[in-house]
């Protein structure tokens, strides 16, 4: 399968807020499930954790939030990547590929050297 060229587009404020809200809700649920916390405790824990990681929200230094668009200008995936410039490496914190685009090799460019 030939690789598709994807355009990298930074998330706008609305997309960032929407994606992060859904992601935070999932983290709260995961915390409730894995640590047997009630919703209030899990929400408080997650909020404190996120505030320490993303002190300036979308503008937090070295954190990159992006859509990937295909040739039809459809958003096929989004990602949150942290780049550690001192260590010269990056960490994919969150990666989501829209279900209708799965199985097409669109995630490969992110994982392959």
- Looking at the domain assignment, is residue 95 inside a domain? yes
Residue in 34, 16, 36 with CA at minimum distance from that of residue 94: 16
Beta strands in the chain (DSSP E): 7-10, 63-69, 75-84, 89-97
The pLDDT, as a whole number, for residue 39 is: 95
The pLDDT, as a whole number, for residue 49 is: 92
The pLDDT, as a whole number, for residue 108 is: 64
CA distance 30 to 39: 10
Domain with 34 in it: what CATH number?
3.40.630.30
- Looking at the domain assignment, is residue 2 inside a domain? no
Number of domains in the chain: 1
CA distance 70 to 8: 9
The pLDDT, as a whole number, for residue 4 is: 61
- Looking at the domain assignment, is residue 70 inside a domain? yes
Query: What is the domain extent for residue 33?
Result: 7-111
User: How far lies 9's CA from each of 6, 79, 96, in Å?
Assistant: 9, 10, 15
- Looking at the domain assignment, is residue 1 inside a domain? no
- Looking at the domain assignment, is residue 77 inside a domain? yes
Identify the burial level of 108 via C-beta atoms within 10 angstroms of its C-beta, where 0-12 means exposed, 13-18 middle and 19 or more buried: exposed
- Looking at the domain assignment, is residue 39 inside a domain? yes
The pLDDT, as a whole number, for residue 110 is: 57
The pLDDT, as a whole number, for residue 90 is: 85
- Looking at the domain assignment, is residue 82 inside a domain? yes
The pLDDT, as a whole number, for residue 5 is: 64
Q: Which residue has the tokens 């990298």?
A: 8
The pLDDT, as a whole number, for residue 99 is: 74
The pLDDT, as a whole number, for residue 32 is: 93
Report residues of the chain scoring pLDDT below 50.
1
């Amino acid at each position: 399968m030939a690789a598709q060229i994807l355009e990298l587009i930074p998330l706008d404020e609305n997309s960032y807020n929407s994606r992060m809200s859904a992601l935070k809700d999932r983290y709260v649920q995961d915390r409730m499930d894995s640590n047997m916390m009630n919703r209030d405790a899990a929400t408080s824990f997650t909020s404190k954790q996120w505030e320490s990681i993303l002190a300036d929200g979308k503008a937090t230094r070295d954190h990159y939030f992006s859509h990937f668009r295909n040739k039809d200008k459809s958003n096929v995936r989004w990602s949150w990547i942290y780049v550690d410039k001192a260590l010269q490496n990056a960490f994919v914190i969150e990666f989501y590929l829209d279900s209708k685009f799965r199985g097409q090799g669109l995630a490969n460019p992110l994982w392959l050297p």
